[in-house]
Structure 1
Amino acid sequence: MDAFKLMKELRLNYEQEVHYLPKETGLSLIESTTQDDSRISAKCRDAKVEDLWSLTSFFGYSTQTFVLAVNLLDRFLAMIRIQPKHLSCVSLSCLHMAAKVTEEECNVTPSDELIRIGQCRFTVSDLSRMEKIVSEKLNFKSKAITALTFLHLYHQIALSHCTERKETLSLEKLEAQLKACLCRISFSKAKPSVLALSLLRQEIEAVQSEDMLEIAYHIQRHLKIADSELLLWSERVALCLLDYASPECSKPNHRKLQWIVSRRTAQNLHSYRSVPELPTIPENCWDESESEDSCEDMMSSGEESLSSSLGSDAEGPYFPLHLRRQKHRQHLHA
């Protein structure tokens, strides 16, 4: 695609991105929810997104599938006030819906296998029912404009102007860094176009390319993104990636994803087990009266977090060494 067509497509996506943003009021309410509350907290949401990353890696799904699943999840959580016990079913439904759109049909994991590998305690009918609810509430058809949409367009535009730098600007690295950001609910408030440009700027500064930096400025002017908005999210992206690059941040080692399960779970994966259906899912919106149903967190009923196995693209090399060096210099001058 030539540069003119790329810029035209970029503008069209920029004008449409607002229709695929989670409601900021709903996200803010999630962020303000405490861990011991009977509603979804930011920590609970972030842990579930990390689980989606693990499952995406395990099933060999694309980054597009993961990003679309997170977009659906955040939009639904910001619209419907669900209880923690329903979060696993909602998140897996979003992943399954995304996979059916972005993956080849032969590569889409069957519902029963998805539930077993995800170590969830609900049935195929629960999953199907939840998919229908999510689809209807979000009026989901077959696409969404996400930060990955813009990241791919920005990358193509940059390479169309700087062919000699093709090997330097790694799309795979940018995608891994986007995944890390999406594991924090705060980045769901960013416009996809701005979040993607912030990531691009970080990588351009890391490779020290004046030509590409000029292209980034041109993209910013073309989309009329304010300097203050870009600076705000660029700083947040830098802090996120700095934290992720630090040894204190828990992430897998330099190996492909290995599925490690307990003996009990392994037995469950190879034997039939009857699972009671989830109770009726109240479809209260955030601004409606709260349900009086008890809220038992699914994680407390035997489900284990998968986030300790995020996959090979969650490893350190994809996260900026120059940020770690910057942190070290700041420590020396402190």
Structure 2
Amino acid sequence: MIDTVTGPGTLPFAVQLKALTDLEGRYQPKLSGLRIIESASDNGLRMTSRLRDLEVKDLLTLSRFFGFSSETFSLAISLLDRFLSVMKIQPKHLSCVGLCCFYIAVKSSEENKNIPLANDLIRISQNRFTVSDMMRMEKIIIEKLNWKVKAPTALRFLRLFHSYVQEQLGADSEKKLSLERLETQLKACHCSFVFSKMKPSLLAMALLRLEVEDQRDPEERDQLSEAMESLQKLLTIRDGDLVCVRELVGKCLAEYSTAKCSRPNSQRLRWTISGRTARQLKHSYYKITHLPTIPESAC
């Protein structure tokens, strides 16, 4: 039976937080496996962090093409990192693994009417494997992850933390801390392998902390800082850990804002779509909006 994590719903914040933090460790990628990927030489024979990042960017582009939710993308990356950390795969199999993780996330998070056919997904992403290949790979992925699919992602923590700050400061907090902007920043972080080794809750906290420090109004910054300190105590996160991850997030977003950086979703796949597939796709699929640019001031 597939192990799933239910949505936060209307439970009290403390209950939601405990439920997610208790499960967080069960869904973490295996650190030893990630270190092997990190240390691998980029010779085309072994899985590397660079190849992983390229695959994540392709999945982000595909997610935007279909108009899937941020939760679907975050879950797909969680599945991908967890599988790569327990299985030594060859680079030639990465596209199949990535697309299968993506499809599992789609079927777990999206409404049935929005789920594309596997064959159409293969065709649109321009992969050459078959639906049978995908079915076999999906089975392997789910079994290797012990049927634990719907993980407590960094996005879920980010949304929960944002709602906590809103409760502390009132409705005006939404104007000070844009959830849409924070989710955009998180997607940029997902495209960097370094954050695969971090707890989702810590990454979400670091994103919020960096955004709070970027507030120009001293009074607003102080109010937000108080709420963040209260949240940090609830999570028992050490100052040193938060500062370290915050600096990495800042560096990632700074690189993202430069012209040299391949910004998430700025790449365009060359779609190959049959007439039948084109007729089945929703009109919104063709209205691809770019991932909002993160201003340099945010970094």
> Does structure 1 conserve the Cα–Cα contact (< 8 Å) formed by 2:206 and 2:249?
yes
Report the counterpart of residue 178 of structure 1 in structure 2.
186
Q: Does 1:204 align with 2:209?
A: no
Equivalent residue letter for 1:87 = L
**1:169–1:128: structure 2 CA closer, same or farther, 3 Å change rule?**
same
Deviation at 1:165, TM superposition (A): 2.3
Report the counterpart of residue 5 of structure 2 in structure 1.
none
Question: Any idea what the Cα deviations from partners look like across 1:192-245, whole Å, max 9, x if unmatched?
Answer: 111000001111122242111111111111111111111110010011011111
Q: Does 1:195 align with 2:233?
A: no
Deviation at 1:93, TM superposition (A): 0.3
Alignment gaps of 5+ in structure 2: 1-7, 277-287
1:126-205 to 2 correspondence within 5 Å?
Answer: 126-163=133-170, 164-205=172-213
Deviation at 1:10, TM superposition (A): 0.9
CA–CA distance in structure 2, aligned partners of residues 2 and 158 of structure 1 = 17
Equivalent residue letter for 1:321 = S
Deviation at 1:106, TM superposition (A): 0.4
Deviation at 1:37, TM superposition (A): 4.5
Equivalent residue letter for 1:200 = L
Report the counterpart of residue 239 of structure 1 in structure 2.
251
Question: Any idea what the Cα deviations from partners look like across 1:158-210, whole Å, max 9, x if unmatched?
Answer: 11111222222111111111111111111001111110000011111222421
Q: Does 1:117 align with 2:124?
A: yes
1:272-291 to 2 correspondence within 5 Å?
Answer: none
Q: Does 1:10 align with 2:14?
A: no
Q: Does 1:33 align with 2:40?
A: yes
Deviation at 1:67, TM superposition (A): 0.5
Deviation at 1:257, TM superposition (A): 7.5
**1:121–1:176: structure 2 CA closer, same or farther, 3 Å change rule?**
same
Q: Does 1:101 align with 2:108?
A: yes
Deviation at 1:50, TM superposition (A): 0.3
Secondary structure at the aligned position of 1:207 is classed as coil
Report the counterpart of residue 239 of structure 2 in structure 1.
227
Equivalent residue letter for 1:114 = L
Secondary structure at the aligned position of 1:314 is classed as coil
Equivalent residue letter for 1:11 = K
Q: Does 1:218 align with 2:230?
A: yes
CA–CA distance in structure 1, aligned partners of residues 70 and 295 of structure 2 = 17
Q: Does 1:314 align with 2:291?
A: yes
Equivalent residue letter for 1:149 = R
Identical residues among aligned pairs (%): 42
Deviation at 1:271, TM superposition (A): 8.2
Larger Rg over CA atoms: 1
Report the counterpart of residue 89 of structure 2 in structure 1.
82
**1:3–1:202: structure 2 CA closer, same or farther, 3 Å change rule?**
farther
Report the counterpart of residue 281 of structure 1 in structure 2.
none
Report the counterpart of residue 304 of structure 1 in structure 2.
none
Equivalent residue letter for 1:174 = L
**1:319–1:19: structure 2 CA closer, same or farther, 3 Å change rule?**
farther
**1:124–1:157: structure 2 CA closer, same or farther, 3 Å change rule?**
same
Report the counterpart of residue 250 of structure 1 in structure 2.
262
Equivalent residue letter for 1:250 = S
**1:125–1:3: structure 2 CA closer, same or farther, 3 Å change rule?**
closer
Report the counterpart of residue 329 of structure 1 in structure 2.
none
Equivalent residue letter for 2:233 = R
CA–CA distance in structure 2, aligned partners of residues 259 and 210 of structure 1 = 41
CA–CA distance in structure 2, aligned partners of residues 4 and 179 of structure 1 = 27
Secondary structure at the aligned position of 1:167 is classed as helix
Equivalent residue letter for 1:59 = F
Report the counterpart of residue 62 of structure 1 in structure 2.
69
Deviation at 1:139, TM superposition (A): 1.7
Alignment gaps of 5+ in structure 1: 273-310, 324-334
Deviation at 1:13, TM superposition (A): 1.1
CA–CA distance in structure 2, aligned partners of residues 194 and 53 of structure 1 = 22
TM-score, reference length from structure 2 = 0.86
Coordinate RMSD, CA, aligned? 2.3
**1:141–1:187: structure 2 CA closer, same or farther, 3 Å change rule?**
closer
- Structure 1 segments, 4+ long, off by >4 Å, are 1-4, 256-260
> Does structure 2 conserve the Cα–Cα contact (< 8 Å) formed by 1:3 and 1:160?
no
> Does structure 1 conserve the Cα–Cα contact (< 8 Å) formed by 2:142 and 2:149?
no
